[in-house]
Amino acid sequence: MNTQLSGRFGIYPWFPGDDEALIAEADVGAFRDLLPNGKVFYCAGIEGDRLVLKYGEKVFRVSPILFREVKTVVRAVGSTVRLADGSLATVADVMWHFARGEPMYLLILSGKKKSRRYWNSDLCDATQEDPRM
């Protein structure tokens, strides 16, 4: 198994109805409910012959066969980001935009999940200074 995947982001193109043996038995239901295809996961480590994928607070143990690393900056679900107007938001969802080859984000701003899609170019790390200053 490629132990270098730990600490990386990637997609896991699995659909409900695909081989459930690829997902740890205890995680199948929650993984199916998440509708994982197109979401960007963080590979938090390895347990035996399984990758440990995180999506926010959710943790899934999966076969490494389908994991495809994405080689770009990804902000994790639950992280705080700063928008160009200086406001802070929380990453609610990270999906892979296959045509653009980059992550797209749904954010929670002022307690409300926004329907607008955001891109890396729209976001700064929350620790960076307010761009209006």
The pLDDT tens digits of the residues spanning 34-93 come to 999 999 999 999 999 999 999 999 999 999 999 999 999 999 999 999 998 999 999 999
- Contacts (Cβ under 8 Å, ≥6 apart) of 123: 75, 81, 82, 83, 105
**CA–CA gap between residue 46 and residue 57 (Å, rounded):** 17
Tokens of 84: 């160009």
Q: Which residues contact 92 (CB under 8 A, 6 or more apart)?
A: 77, 105, 106, 107, 108, 113
Planar angle of CA 31, 108, 105, nearest 5 degrees? 60
User: What is the rounded average pLDDT for all residues in the chain?
Assistant: 93
Whether pLDDT at 97 is above 90: yes
- pLDDT on residue 89: 97
Edge-first strand listing for the sheet containing 68-69: 58-62, 50-55, 40-47, 9-11, 68-69
On the question of pLDDT at 130 being above 60, the answer is no
Kindly state the percentage of the chain with pLDDT values over 90. Answer: 87
pLDDT bin (cut points 50, 70, 90) of residue 129 is low
Rg of the chain (C-alpha set): 16
